[in-house]
Structure 1
Amino acid sequence: MYYSQAYWKGSDIALKAFSLAAEKIPNLRLIAFGMEEPSPELPLPPNSEYVKPEDPEAMAKAIEFICGLPNPDWQGMSEAAYAKAIVYTWDDATERFEGALKAAMSKSTQKDGATAKLKPRIQVQW
């Protein structure tokens, strides 16, 4: 799981979902990575591990864990990932990206007290 403290990334929701699922699946394990380490305000739940993306040894350990799963567990994880991935479209990605940009602009406006005037550097035509 990609870990981020930015609220719009949804790590808090993913961590809560993991915790709820772990109540019913005792051996469930989470491996998180990201550009920032977990904070006390958004801690990782029990049975979780944080892997620094610039740490190849830690990443290798995570890969070894996944590769060492029994076939039914690995197949279930693989099928869940595939099912999640195929529901997304370019339209979804565009809407989420635009939403993130609008949220960032709104925060910037609130922080600065003024609306930023943005002028595109290049003209893109589709």
Structure 2
Amino acid sequence: MYYTTTPWKGCDIALKAFSIAAKKIPNLRLVAFGSGHDNAFPHLLPEGTEYNKQPTQDQLKEFYSKCDAWLFSSRSEGFGLPILEAMACGTPVIGTPAGAAPELLAGGGGILVKPEDPEDMAKAIEQICQLSDAEWRAMSEIALETVINYTWEDATNLFEAALYTALERQAQLTNKR
């Protein structure tokens, strides 16, 4: 998980979910990284957490790749780039419906959970941990295939179209006045 004390990132949800799931799953481990901008933390993470402050891009790949699932617990998000980053490493994502999570996880490359619901996220952690190797690999492949469909060209085309739509709506509102 991405760890920060910024409330809208929902780390409290992910940490509570981990705590619930850890009671049922022996040897469950938490891997987290953060930007290092908050001063108050690694001591707030569960004992045994592997934490990296300000990892390099190569280290990020290692972090995502070593996980059976990536927890995305944001309450609000513009897009949610860590979802794509994890999926690009073949790591299924357990995510709240913030940003692009509903669209990105709809195909089966992860599990969408209820917002503000650590119990639901804990159930998803348990579900992924109980998958057979073949089932997990299938979910991992779906995650990877999902990411392959996202290119910079597609992103810029969609962004440009959204800007034109916003301009058209603004013009319509202005003309109505």
TM interval, short-chain normalised: 0.3 to 0.5
- Greater relative contact order structure (CA < 8 Å, 6+ sep): 2
Larger Rg: 1
Q: TM-score, normalised by structure 1?
A: 0.46
Q: TM-score, normalised by structure 2?
A: 0.35
